[in-house]
Amino acid sequence: MTTNQPDTLIEVSGLVKRYGAFTAVNGVSFEVRRGEVFGLLGPNGAGKTTTMEMMEGLRQPDEGYAKVAGYDTRTQLSKVKEVIGVQLQSTSLFDLLTVREITEMYASFYKVPTLPIGPLLESVMLEEKLRGRVKHLSGGQKQRLAIALALVNDPQVVFLDEPTTGLDPQARRMLWDIILRLRDQGKTIVLSTHYMDEAELLSDRICLMDSGRVVALDTPRELIRSLGTESTIEFRIAAAAVAAAAGEAPPSGPAEELTDELRALEGVRDTALRKDSWVLYSDAPQATLTALIAWAEHRALDLAELRTRTGTLEDVFIHMTGRSLREE
């Protein structure tokens, strides 16, 4: 196959994983190139973690295979484990050990030469916590330690499974800096996340997943460009105003009546409504905006927080699946 090509580090082909009647991963194929940050983006339950765990050799696929650095996870697992570093979504560490002790312990698991502990912990900004116990670390510090442990064997590829979930914004940004620095050092990183801003910022290429399948795979820029010239126009109308504007309770309800009217505006391809925020997808934003304002004046409605933007990965996901990334 293509694993011998210099720029392909991971090859995933036709992966299927079933749990009883439920198929968690349903025929996933892609390649990860050496030195790139490869983002797996999708809502919870899309199969990101299961796909990652099959690449790490933690789960055996029911069908298909994954090869890392040319080693098949089904038959050469011990080789695979020496060249990968893993941060799992929900790992806790021994609370009563110190940062140094736990790093030394993980280093002892590898046959390959491991990194010196001082500089390693410095690279994740934990050098001052060397003697501190794990239980006294903050959430962000624990996550940085988990990344240090994933790096201890100087792996060719690092798997980071939702590394920033549950962290505060400052801790997230710190982690992003670390990941970007790793990329600059030439590490290959497979990153799963359900935050589209994170995927967009960090990833060289993004694999959009939904219901166990790959729905799109490209660079963030290309994914957004695939939406065409589409722009979105967002605004808010107070629910009370909507009801008042719709007059005496139309059979379809007030929101539906407005939706029909908005969809009829020039250039509008689709609309979406979340609580009282409206989104118009338009091929011709300028014409749509003009028509929208005229319509609002005619209806005597206030458009609050009116703004336009070009598409995001969120829009790509909605476009591909008809559902929102944030849906639980």
Partner 1 sequence: MKAYVQLTLAQLRLFARNRQVLFWTLFFPVFFMILLGSFLGGDNAITLEGLVVNEDRSAGASELERQLLANPVLLSELADDRDSALQQLQDGDTQYVVVLPAGLGDAIEAGAGEAVVRLYTDDTNRTVSEVVTAAVSAQVDQISKSRTGYEPIVTVEAEGVQALNLRYIDFLVPGIVAMMIMSNNLNGVAGQIASWRERGILRRMQSTPLHAASFIGAQITARLLLNGLQAVIVVLIGQLAFGTQVNGSWLLLLGLIVMGTLAFMSIGFIIAGLAKTPESAGPIAGFVSFPLLFLGGVFFPIANMPDFLQPIVELLPISHLATGMRQVMNVGASLGDIWYDAALLGGWLIAAFVIASFTFKWE
Position 15: which residue type? L
Is 277 near partner 1 (CB under 8 A)? no
Is 154 near partner 1 (CB under 8 A)? no
Binding to partner 1 (CB under 8 A): which residues in 122-151? 133, 149
Q: In terms of CB distance, is 102 or 182 closer to partner 1?
A: 102
Residue 314 CB neighbours (<10 A): 16
H/E segment holding residue 52: helix 48-55
Binding to partner 1 (CB under 8 A): which residues in 52-91? 56-58, 78, 81-82, 84, 86, 88, 90-91
CA–CA separation, 270 vs 113, rounded Å? 56
Q: In terms of CB distance, is 100 or 299 closer to partner 1?
A: 100
CA–CA separation, 205 vs 189, rounded Å? 11
Task: Choose one: 99-107, 193-201, 219-227, 240-248; the region binding partner 1 (CB under 8 A).
Answer: 99-107
H/E segment holding residue 234: strand 231-236
Is 19 near partner 1 (CB under 8 A)? no
Q: In terms of CB distance, is 159 or 235 closer to partner 1?
A: 159
Query: Which of 101, 204, 276, 314 is close enough to bind partner 1 by CB under 8 A?
Result: 101
Q: What is the nearest approach in angstroms of partner 1 to the Cβ of residue 126?
A: 18
Sign of CA dihedral 54, 213, 69, 3: positive
DSSP 197-231: HHHHHH-SEEEEEETTEEEEEE-HHHHHHTTTT-E
Q: Which residues are near partner 1 by CB under 8 A? A: 56-58, 78, 81-82, 84, 86, 88, 90-94, 96-97, 101-102, 104-106, 108-111, 133, 149, 153
